[in-house]
Amino acid sequence: MAGATLWVFSYGTLRAPELQEILLGRRVEMRRAVLEDFAVQVDPHLGYLMLAVSPGSRVEGCLLEVTPAELLRFDAWEEVPLYQRAQVQARLAHTHELVSAICYLRPDVQGEPVSDPNCLATKDWTLVLAEARDLAATLPPL
């Protein structure tokens, strides 16, 4: 990939290749990773996942390799400042190397536990993809 490489730790919808294609026009390289001292929760009002600080817990997700322009599209999807960017240290699953990454957090909302580790959202997936298509139609080309 040309240009600067940025890593985004994803634990929810951004891991879905079909959502990546809608927002970025391509599937991004994903590497399995773990984020320590956080737990996945679901926003009971929106149906989307979020992270909560939880010492001793861990979240399995993926590191997504993106460009700065693609990161701005992820910001739009995550409705920054509704979700806030945070710098985290994720551990690659296969090498255990720590990687500095961006993660999206909602520190102002108390969520509910998520029992399914493969859950991307509790909202109907066809509605999630429709929202992504609507948003992508409003964004400038990459």
Q: Write the pLDDT tens digit of every residue in 99-116.
A: 999 999 988 888 888 888
- Per-residue pLDDT tens for 35-88? 999 999 998 888 899 998 899 999 999 999 999 999 999 999 999 988 899 999
Q: How many CA atoms within 13 Å lie on the side-chain side of 58?
A: 11
- pLDDT at position 3 is 60
State the CATH architecture for 6-138. Roll (3.10)
- pLDDT at position 107 is 81
Residue-range domain boundaries for the chain: 6-138
Can you give the pTM of this predicted structure? 0.91
Q: Is the pLDDT of residue 117 over 80?
A: no
- pLDDT at position 103 is 96
- pLDDT at position 118 is 81
- pLDDT at position 2 is 53
- Comparing C-alpha atoms, which of 63, 51, 58, 66 is closest to residue 15? 63
Task: Look at residue 91 and give its three-state secondary structure.
Answer: strand
Cα dihedral 35→89→25→117 (10° resolution): 0
Q: Is the pLDDT of residue 128 over 90?
A: yes
